[in-house]
């Protein structure tokens, strides 16, 4: 495991999670230990049902582990944390709110200064090319535009850590490539610590500098890969797809996942 130099931003120590239901209990995560450095962009891949999304819920504090500890900035997570922003699989924009009103939702819930939040959201939306849609309703926007509003909503509360739960899964493939490129660039520029959950190997390799593979349920860390490109500067995700190393990483990870299909 690549040991981060600085004290970790996010740390999972022997985390266990069981879901309880009338029909029985499900072990979703077993003995998961991951350490993520400040500013790192990590992707977590695994097959559906391996507990990837559960991992994000634990880091965001909306779910607490049944065993082990989750730490953000060295402090145990006991509930939702303002340092953590969460982008869900779909935009879940509120259809009764305008774009701007949607973007300031988090700030509003957290009781932040609304004048500042509005200004920040306006700036973010304008930067994402949505300046003329501030007072439109979500249904008037395309899927890609809506997901950009969701990104603005996440970043408006100024989190240090951004959790991305397959945030492009609902988009068509062109929009998906373009938007994942945009999002990776934005998050790197703002030096956010980012954790992306996906089952798309290409997306993981092109966006993240580290890819963690989870085993099938109960999810455990199967392997941990540093993604390095020979180019001096880290290529953008779209450029990374053309880099010679891309296919090697892709094939390695593909085999890692394949093993679980057979075994």
Partner 1 sequence: MSKVDTLTLAGASPQYLAWLARERRGQRVVRGTQLAILLVFLVLWEVLPKALIVNPVLTSYPSALWPTFLELLKSTPQQASILVHTWATVLATVLGFTGAMVLGTAVAATLWWWNALYKVLDPYLVVANAMPKTAFVPIFYIWLGATLSIYGMSLAISVFITILMIYSGFQGIDPNKIKLAQTFGATKGQILRKVVLPGSVPTLLAALKVNAGLSLVGVVVGEFQSANLGLGYLIQYGAQIFKMNIVMTGITILAIVSSLMYLAISWLETAVMRRR
Q: What is the binding site for partner 1 (CB under 8 A)?
A: 60, 62, 79-82, 84-86, 88-90, 92, 94-97, 105-106, 108-110, 137, 139, 157
Nearer to partner 1, 84 or 205 (CB): 84
Rounded alpha-carbon distances, angstroms, from residue 96 to 48, 93, 99, 260: 32, 9, 10, 44
Q: Which residues of 167-182 are buried (b: 16+ CB within 10 A; e: fewer)?
A: bbeebeeebbbebbbb
Nearer to partner 1, 122 or 157 (CB): 157
Q: How far is the CB of 230 from partner 1 (least distance, A)?
A: 38
Gap between the Cα atoms of 108 and 112, Å rounded: 6
Q: Which of 216, 161, 188, 218 is nearest to 18 (CA)?
A: 218
Q: How far is the CB of 86 from partner 1 (least distance, A)?
A: 4
Residues 194 and 155 sit within 8 Å (Cβ to Cβ): no
Q: How far is the CB of 50 from partner 1 (least distance, A)?
A: 20
Nearer to partner 1, 92 or 229 (CB): 92
Q: How far is the CB of 141 from partner 1 (least distance, A)?
A: 14
Nearer to partner 1, 86 or 246 (CB): 86
């Amino acid at each position: 495991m690549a040991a981060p130099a600085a004290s970790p931003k996010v740390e999972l120590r022997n985390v266990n999670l069981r879901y309880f239901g009338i029909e029985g209990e499900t072990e979703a995560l077993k003995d998961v230990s991951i350490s993520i450095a400040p500013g790192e962009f990590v992707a977590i891949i695994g097959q559906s049902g391996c507990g990837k999304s559960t991992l994000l819920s634990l880091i965001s504090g909306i779910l607490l582990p049944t065993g082990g500890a989750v730490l953000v900035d060295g402090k145990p997570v006991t509930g939702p944390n303002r340092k953590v922003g969460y982008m869900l699989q779909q935009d879940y924009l509120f259809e009764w709110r305008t774009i701007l009103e949607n973007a300031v939702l988090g700030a509003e819930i957290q009781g932040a200064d609304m004048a500042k939040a509005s200004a920040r959201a306006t700036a973010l939306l304008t930067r994402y090319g949505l300046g003329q849609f501030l007072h439109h309703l979500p249904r008037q926007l395309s899927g890609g535009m809506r997901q950009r509003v969701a990104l603005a909503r996440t970043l408006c509360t100024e989190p240090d850590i951004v959790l991305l739960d397959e945030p492009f899964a609902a988009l068509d493939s062109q929009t998906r490539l373009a938007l994942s490129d945009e999002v990776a660039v934005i998050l790197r520029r703002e030096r956010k610590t980012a954790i992306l959950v996906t089952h798309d190997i290409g997306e993981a390799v092109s966006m993240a500098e580290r890819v963690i593979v989870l085993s099938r349920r109960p999810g455990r860390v199967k392997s941990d890969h540093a993604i390095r490109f020979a180019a001096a500067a880290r290529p953008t995700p779209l450029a990374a797809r053309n880099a010679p190393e891309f296919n090697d990483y892709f094939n390695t990870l593909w085999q890692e996942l394949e093993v679980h299909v057979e075994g």
